[in-house]
Chain A
Amino acid sequence: MGRVARVLLLGPYVLLLAVFFAIPLVLMLAISLSRQSYGQMEWTFTLQHYAHFFTDAYYLGVLGDTLWLGALTTAASLLLGYPLAYHLALTRSRWKPLLIVFILSPLLVGIVIRCYGWMILLADRGLINETLVQRGWIAKPLPLMYNKFGVTVALVHVFLPFMVLSLTGVLKRIEPQLIEASQTLGASPRRAFFEVTLPLSLPGVLAGSLLVFSLAISSFVVPILVGGFKVHVLPMVVYEQVLSVFDWPFGAANALVLLAISVALIGVYIKVTERALRGIV
């Protein structure tokens, strides 16, 4: 393929990305280092917005909560996703395509709709509470929504498919002969799982966890709808600063903190998946 052909084919998208993705991100960095007075940008160099963020107990608390929710979501997704991925990787069932649809379809259904489903279930007058109260099992509704519990449940639901996809990819590449060999050598199925399958699937576990964690800490639809603005997370602060308070530099600085965490995670993620793909597991 000649140079001209390459440029013609690749050029449009690379140019689009450079102008409408790379430059805006650089601009956001510049804004986070500038001042704003009376709605006008003053292009200066200051670290005051970052200093503000890292010295204010409220924002540090928000950052802590964000990371904590991310960790909870990741752990729960792993716990629920592993059996699912294991089953999907090994099954010879003719229903397999249907199972893939089940896993994929939540991904293709908008996030607002999925949150709404959880709101119908978890609200004070929602399906679960209403049913329990009517049966007389509880006197007043359980606090299922507008708190960290509800947010975590919905976050796990939203990001579980990513975990399953990451895990299945790795589990499927484990040679069945390895497990058979360990069993021929006298290992129980349980021991074969813990000493062969599980260690070999660790790259998938790590990749899936990094992906889910980085998606979970940047989600703000779930905290807004299921958390009802009562669970404060970093992306929500970004959203409020940029779209309600109109404090662009501070909003941009918040976004950059989130960006730094994501980029670090993505870096590790790429290293992990590359190694897994090369087969050095």
Chain B
Amino acid sequence: MILRAAVGLVYAFLLLPMVIVVLAAFNAGNYFTFPPQGFSLKWFANFFHRREFMQALWLSTELGFWTAAISTVIGTAASVVLVRGRFRGRDALNAFVTSPLLLPQILTGVALLQFYTLLKMQASYAALLIGHVVVTTPYVIRTVTATLTHFDLALEEAAQSLGAHPLRAFFEVTLGVIKPGVVAGAIFAFAISFDNFTLSLFLTSSKLTPLPIELFAYLKYSFDPTAAAVSAFAIGVALVLVLGIARFMGLEEFTGF
């Protein structure tokens, strides 16, 4: 009973800031007080009318899409080798490909900024996209690896013994079976990219600002609930993406429990 109450309180703590942001976004007043001062959509209207927010939203969406596409392809390909390949140095390689996940992103950000500046390619779209792919691909690898390990290799061998070319066997049998993991990985990669702040901060310029950076810049100077509307919108996007992962892969499988 005490455990249940404690658990309930911790869940409340986890959800509280997000619930507050969403309530503030629909609240009419400039400051969020309790009880709320009435329902209003004016902060959303302000969000959708501000050019800089719309441009940032579009950039983040496009960037997330390309990041997800690229990291899913190269991440899935890498997973196949990492799960099935039997060769020397596989463990070391495994650690190497997932290392961007473990290293604090501020370090990756600083290192990439200095590297790009010396190459004179800082603050370009390509530089930003590559940075995002570097940090999202390990997530794809982890997700796809989880589904690939359950895959029964006999299925692919059966297809080959029935005359299918190894490539055809892979695309028609294996990919079909591991599709949930691949799709969940792609959605997760999009989500990570769409919300990425730390890495983007080092790789953007005033002409190239994804939504989280635009929101951060806005919050530094003003406190009005337009920021809440932007945040509530992003929370909505995150919820849709979580539901997508749940639908394709199942959350227990995705988190490993």
Contact = CB atoms under 8 A, between A and B. Distances in A.
A75 interface: no
Given A14-B96, A262-B104, A25 B16 contact: no
A105 B18 contact: yes
26 contacts: A6-B85, A14-B97, A17-B97, A20-B134, A21-B108, A25-B108, A27-B114, A31-B114, A83-B10, A89-B257, A111-B197, A112-B197, A116-B227, A116-B228, A117-B18, A117-B231, A118-B17, A131-B34, A157-B14, A218-B107, A242-B113, A243-B201, A251-B110, A262-B102, A262-B103, A269-B102
A116 B202 contact: no
B255 interface: yes
Interface size class on chain B is 35 or more
A214 B107 CA distance: 12
Given A113-B231, A116-B228, A28 B16 contact: no
Interface of A: 1, 5-6, 8-10, 12-14, 16-17, 20-21, 23-25, 27-28, 31, 41, 80-81, 83-84, 86-89, 96-97, 99-106, 108-114, 116-121, 123, 125-127, 130-131, 134, 157, 160-161, 165, 168-169, 172, 214-215, 218, 220-221, 225, 235, 238-239, 242-243, 248, 251-252, 255, 258-259, 262, 266, 269-270
A113 B21 contact: yes
A131 B216 CA distance: 27
Interface string B103-132: 111111011111100100000000000110
Query: Would you call the interface of chain B mostly helix, strand, loop, or mixed?
Result: helix
A208 to B, nearest CB: 14
A120 B110 contact: no
Contacts of A251: 110
Interface string B122-149: 0000000011011001000000000000
A110 to B, nearest CB: 4
B242 A252 contact: no
B234 A109 contact: yes
Query: Would you call the interface of chain A mostly helix, strand, loop, or mixed?
Result: helix
